[in-house]
A and B are shown apart, each in its own frame.
Chain A
């Protein structure tokens, strides 16, 4: 009988405790779009931009509930380009906000812009590159901003004039772990 009462008390107590806290931690994916516009006469065209996590509503709306931020994925998409634009190398570099501390350097040799107009290029980073980003954004209240640099090297196109243009988009996905 004593055991039965104890067991019942434990069940009731755990129900009460659980009832008071029905929520568990949850995760949302933060998608960050960054557009680049590269123009020039070559041989290299490039653009450097700065962006911050607090440029995004999804981050701001949950800033006080964030327990952890983790880099998840990235992709490149061509929006518009000079006809037949090609290059020896597409380079995407991501730096910390100081613009000098490199987080990753992704390169794609033999880049053809049109190939990624309707099919994104999946930017597959190594684990150590992901770890570097995650270490930086661990303190996301302070380390909130990045510098991204997109370069197209030894560019060529079907244009008669040696003037090249590339509009592109990089999408990053980060995972926000939120307190209940």
Chain B
């Protein structure tokens, strides 16, 4: 499980392309690197705050849940490119260039020659999965997501997250719906452990969310649920700026640590679940900047 998590994350965000040619954050000065990785910050905020509920009903006594959640995020065109502004004299009329998810890196002629921007991963959408466990007591549920810090090749990665949920409708027995409030926090870190400082790269994401969700169960079998969520995400990025075009001599040759805020603010979720004894299947759609579909399989009692 540990290994498959690493493979998933590393495949998507680090080893396959981020450090390979085409996706070179280390070619960008800090002010441009922020724009390049911003959609990744948004994506991580979207991903980690998805699939966190499928029922507002929390058992009055004891409950346990193990879930595997698959998500499918559509990357909007606006998150695939940005307008460069390198702040170089004699440079103007920039064409759009790829973000980390885009397909076409731009270039322009500066006073010192051509400046070439990196391409992106060329992603149309992102399918990714996660697992989580939850336990509840007296109408309050604690959800945990955890992967220990693991080192593979030159990358160290680790992840943890939690959600705390409380059913407020238990205080209003006449309400026809179940209503809960939930807070969530997730943290993922990836760091290069290479001894060569020019290969240094670090991605550290922190994601917070607060939601109110409601659900209605029909015949003990079908659950229809909806929710509104406030969320925020931050991605701390560290990298060594190589300046391969030699046009930013005063900025080149050092490690930068950037703080990038994702475009995660509000989302609305609508979904349905099918309860088959201990086994629950659910599907929902999350309307946010990067629309995300989520499907889950849970074993719960």
Please report A residues at the B interface, Cβ cutoff 8 Å: 15, 18-19, 22-29, 31, 33, 57-58, 61-62, 72-73, 75, 77, 118-120, 122, 169, 171, 173, 178, 180
Contact = CB atoms under 8 A, between A and B. Distances in A.
B119 A18 contact: no
A74 B273 CA distance: 59
B122 A26 contact: yes
Contacts of B21: 28, 57-58, 61-62
B125 A120 contact: no
Contact of B116 (A26, A31, A120, A180): A31
B105 A171 contact: no
Contacts of B106: 29
B229 interface: no
Interface in B102-136: 102-107, 109, 111-114, 116-127
Contacts of A173: 107, 114, 116
B119 A15 contact: no
B111 A120 contact: yes
Contact of A25 (B103, B111, B116, B126): B103
A18 B103 contact: no
Contacts of B121: 23, 26
A30 B290 CA distance: 31
Interface of B: 20-22, 72, 90, 98, 102-107, 109, 111-114, 116-127, 244-245, 293
A120 B21 CA distance: 26
B42 to A, nearest CB: 17
A19 B114 contact: no
B114 A27 contact: no
Contact of A27 (B105, B123, B244): B105
A80 to B, nearest CB: 14
27 contacts: A15-B72, A19-B125, A19-B127, A22-B123, A22-B126, A22-B127, A23-B122, A23-B123, A23-B124, A24-B123, A26-B121, A27-B104, A27-B119, A28-B21, A28-B105, A28-B119, A29-B107, A31-B116, A72-B107, A73-B107, A118-B111, A119-B111, A120-B109, A171-B113, A173-B114, A178-B22, A178-B122
Given A119-B90, A171-B113, 9 more contacts: A22-B125, A22-B127, A23-B123, A24-B103, A24-B123, A26-B103, A75-B109, A120-B113, A178-B22
A26 B22 contact: yes
A169 B113 contact: yes
Contacts of A58: 21
Nearest to A76: B113
Candidate in B102, B114, B122 with the most chain A CB atoms within 10 angstroms: B114
Contact of B114 (A22, A75, A119): A75
A84 B15 CA distance: 51
Contact of A31 (B120, B127, B245): B245
B103 A27 contact: yes
Nearest to B120: A26
Contacts of B107: 29, 31, 72-73, 173
A122 B121 CA distance: 30
Q: Give me the 3 closest cross-chain CB pairs, A-B, nearest first.
A: A26-B122, A19-B127, A61-B21
B111 to A, nearest CB: 5
B181 to A, nearest CB: 31
B126 A171 contact: no
Contacts of B114: 31, 73, 75, 171, 173
Contacts of A77: 112-113
A23 B75 CA distance: 11
Nearest to B98: A26
A168 B122 CA distance: 36
Contacts of B103: 24-27
